[in-house]
Structure formats: structure tokens, C-alpha cells
Amino acid sequence: MRIGFEAKRAFKNYTGLGNYSRFVIQTLAQKFPNYQYHVYTTDLVKNPRTSFLFNCPNIILRTAPVKLFKAYWRSKGVVNDLIKDKIEVYHGLSHEIPSGLKKAGIKSVVTIHDLIYLRFPYYFKAIDRKIYDLKFKSACANADKIIAISEQTKKDIIHFFNVDEDKIEVVYQDCDGIFHLTEPADKLTEIKNKYQLPKKYILSVGTIESRKNQLLILKALLNLPENIHVVLVGKHTDYAQILINFIELHQLENRVHFLQNADFKDLPAIYQQAKVFVYPSVFEGFGIPILEALNSGVPVIAVEGSCLEEAGGPNSLYVDKDDAESLAKNLLEIYQNEALREEMAAKGKKFALNFRADKIASQLMRVYHKTVNHA
């Protein structure tokens, strides 16, 4: 089978959608090496995160012809290249597919990560919501199959777009394989010194933005012993100023540590030295940082009400998005109860095995075959 991928984000994004795009392509290329994977992108960017795309013999890279506008090529012109390459199924990895696939006789799959812009429109600009609406609705209407990355996203697709349930397949994803490995003691010490990490800390990883709700952690910190610190890893937005104001008001400067530019390769050592991982996001499509924490052997506390229970499993703890008191209570219990901490870590690691790449690759390939063979 010849499989095509819309892969702009695989080369241009280094968080959520980019991680997913790279994960899917790399996982399939390794698990099913006899297939051909044609990767279509407007720009080629080579770095340590994308190098496998250039070095894998069964991955063929395609870029936009210079004479065409890149946006037009992604949305329509690429179909001519798909025909030339004899692509049998085309997978839009991030919410969109080009027009004209049906007319060209090319089957299509699209991954929908979340519909947060509809559930929480106030987090998005009006123009962005309109663009998302056009792209997402068109993709769901015209694709032969839809992959939802969680049961929550599947429910949202059915609810907001009135899509037939039989058209949607839930296929999860794994985190990067570097989180599956235990770092040696000297590496842990090196990273602790490099980032001046505190001795004991609560960890949270994710863009510092309103939806991620990091303020809940700071409110909980007020009810925790002074030797407990918080490390917040992620790019800052305007929301960071709200956190800074809170920190200054409550004199928490020595207990809250921001890491904006942590190297990706250093993250496993940062996770593995945390006592607890907290993911207080109001709503997510899935929640990859939770999987990173589980694989790192760190107990997880997340917010209830979206898909985070799917990522965290039955042995993580969940609190209301506004309940700082409950969060503090759970954090303190984990800190003070070593047996509980070890039990949560062990069961979390076991649960994370459900998301391993070989399982995901097989599920994706079944979707492709079902799509191609469907009359």
C-alpha cells in the first residue's frame, strides 16, 4: 500500500500536533517497513526531531512546486502529486484534507484531535474559530474515515458535527520513546544542576496559558509545606503574568520555578525527579504530558471532566478544575505516603503500556485497510 500524509506540522511544530504527526509516520515506517509512506509538506526542516524523515528508506518526501502558492498546494494542488504517486489512502494528520480527493479516487482519513474551539470559544479569536470551523467540518464531511484521538473527541465530533458514529475510529497515541527509558543517576544530577531544580517538587508541563489552568497549582501550594516547590515547564503567554502576580502577592518567589526553554531531550530527567505530576488543564483532546509522566514513574493528578481520565487511567487521581483545596489534600497525601506513591507509579507505568507504538501502528493500519477496501 502507498500511504500519503499531510505533514506540514511534522516539520514546523515541536509540541502537540507536530509530535503526533512525527509519531504516526515514524511508528508506521518502523512497524510496517514494506509499505511506502509519501510525506507531503510545504517546507523541509531538518533537525534532531525530524532527522528520521530524511533517513528512512520507505519514507518519500514531497514538497510544493516553487511555481505554486504553498497554501493552494496544501489545500488542492497536492492532489495532482497524489495521483502521480499512486497514493491509495491519504491521511490528514491535523484536522484537514485537500479538496478533490474523492474525484481523484483517493481514499482519505483525517485525525481530529479536539474541538476545544467549540466547547470553549472564548479561548480563541473569532477569525481562528471561523477558519477552524471551515476546515474541520469540511474534513469530517469529506473524509472516508475519521480518527479521533480519544473517546471524548469522538463524542464531540458526533455532538457538534452530527457525524455517523460508524465513520469514527478512536486511535490513541504514545508519547516519545525517550520517556520509556530510565535515566542513570549521573544524568539526573546533571539535569538537576543544569536547571537548578529544587530537591522536592511538583511538576507541570504545558504551555502557560489560561486553559492549562496552572493557577490552580499555585493556589494549592499555599496549603502545602514550605519545602515543597513547583516547577512549571512551558512556553509563556499573557496568562503567565497572572501567575507572576499571584506569586508576588503570596511571596512564593522561592517556591515556583519557570522553565521556558528546556531541551526536549532533558525532559525525561526532569519528570523522573518530580514527586508528583499535576495536569490541571480545563479541557484537552488527550493529554500527552500525562503519558510522559506515567512512563517516567511519576504519580499523576489531573482535572476531571474531559479526556484526561483516558490518558491517566484508573490509578491516577482527579480533581475539579477549581478545587485547589482538594488538589492540595491529594498532593500532600502522595508526598507523605511513600507506599501510595510507589503503588501509583507502578500501576501508572503498567497502564501506559496500553499506548505503546506497536499497538497504535496496528490499529492505524487496520483503519487504512478498512478505508481502502470499503466499497
Domains (ranges, CATH) in the chain? 2-174+356-373 (3.40.50.2000), 177-354 (3.40.50.2000)
Q: What is the pLDDT of residues 71-81, one digit of tens each?
A: 888 889 899 99
The pTM assigned to this predicted structure is 0.90
What is the pLDDT, as a whole number, of residue 342? 95
Angle, CA 190 vertex, CA 177 and CA 339 arms, to 5°: 65
194's CB contacts (< 8 A; 6+ apart) are: 266
Q: Of 122-126, 253-257, 268-272, which range is least confident?
A: 122-126
Q: What is the pLDDT of residues 87-117, one digit of tens each?
A: 999 999 999 999 999 999 999 999 999 999 9
Q: What is the pLDDT of residues 300-313, one digit of tens each?
A: 999 998 789 999 99
Average pLDDT score, the chain: 94
Average pLDDT of the residues in 245-249: 97
What is the pLDDT, as a whole number, of residue 47? 87
> Given a cut of 60, is residue 375 above it in pLDDT?
no
What is the pLDDT, as a whole number, of residue 68? 65
Helix axes 16-31, 357-373, angle to 10 degrees: 80
> Given a cut of 60, is residue 162 above it in pLDDT?
yes
What is the pLDDT, as a whole number, of residue 45? 87
Percent of the chain topping pLDDT 90? 84
